[in-house]
Amino acid sequence: MPFSLRQWRRERVLRRAPIDDSLWWASVARYGFVSALDAGEQGRLRRWSTLFLAEKRFWAAPGLELTEAMKTDVAVQACLLILELDLSAYGGWSEIVVYPDEFVVAHTWTDEAGVVHEDPHARAGEAWLGGPVVLSWADVARAAQGDGVNVVIHEFAHKLDMANGAANGFPPLHRGMDRAAWSAAFSAAFADFRRRVARRECTAIDPYAAESPAEFFAVVSEGFFEVPEAVRAAYPSVYEQLRLFYRQDPAARLAALAA
């Protein structure tokens, strides 16, 4: 295969702007789901993270001093999703905005009488179609707990979902994946999960997944990488679809590490 201009540019970035060793190993140590990767996987993750940092622009909201270590932590978690894919999966947008803590977003809507309402909501993160990813640093930092709640994985799963339009829990699938199998697995699991949440059952998956198919996909993606056994135990068909989509098997990875 001819050496493309994109490959040449990427190799130049990797030579000229590598992630500092101390920053890289600090991130690896901080996140259990990253330290569980084997040497080859960590090498690919470092490559994608380096290119990610070169391609995306970070902006700090007032009250936050954004350091290189913080940017690296975001890049490492975001690139875990595309470890076996390609950075082009995050194409079409370039900005990441980081707030010190939860931020308030005011959404407007019009009722049947034509009255416009504005509802403010505190958010830990947002992903905009064709626009930036917005993150709360306080929530990014808490991902080191490894409890299946991860705002970076969540918002970047939305970005993958948005590759074919508004987020709806049905991202563009890879060649060879079965759309009917994806739809059947996720539809059944989402309906079951909503019933369980309505009954106030205790679940290993964040109840926020019951909000919509898009949120279900993003939340189970968090669990897939952080607490894969919980997702596989609850919804094995969904786990299998995520395994095919991300081309990774975190449950097998953790089992091999424990052996």
Mean predicted confidence (pLDDT) in 32-36: 88
pLDDT at 117 over 70: no
Is 90 exceeded by the pLDDT of residue 196? yes
Q: What is the per-residue pLDDT for 107?
A: 57
Confidence of residue 103 (pLDDT cuts 50, 70, 90): confident
Over residues 19-34, the mean pLDDT reads 92
Q: What is the mean pLDDT of the chain?
A: 91
Q: Model pTM?
A: 0.91
Does residue 116 surpass a pLDDT of 60? no
Residue count (the chain): 259
Report whether pLDDT(52) > 60: yes
Mean pLDDT over residues 242-254, rounded? Answer: 96
- When pLDDT is cut at 50, 70 and 90, the band that residue 122 belongs to is confident
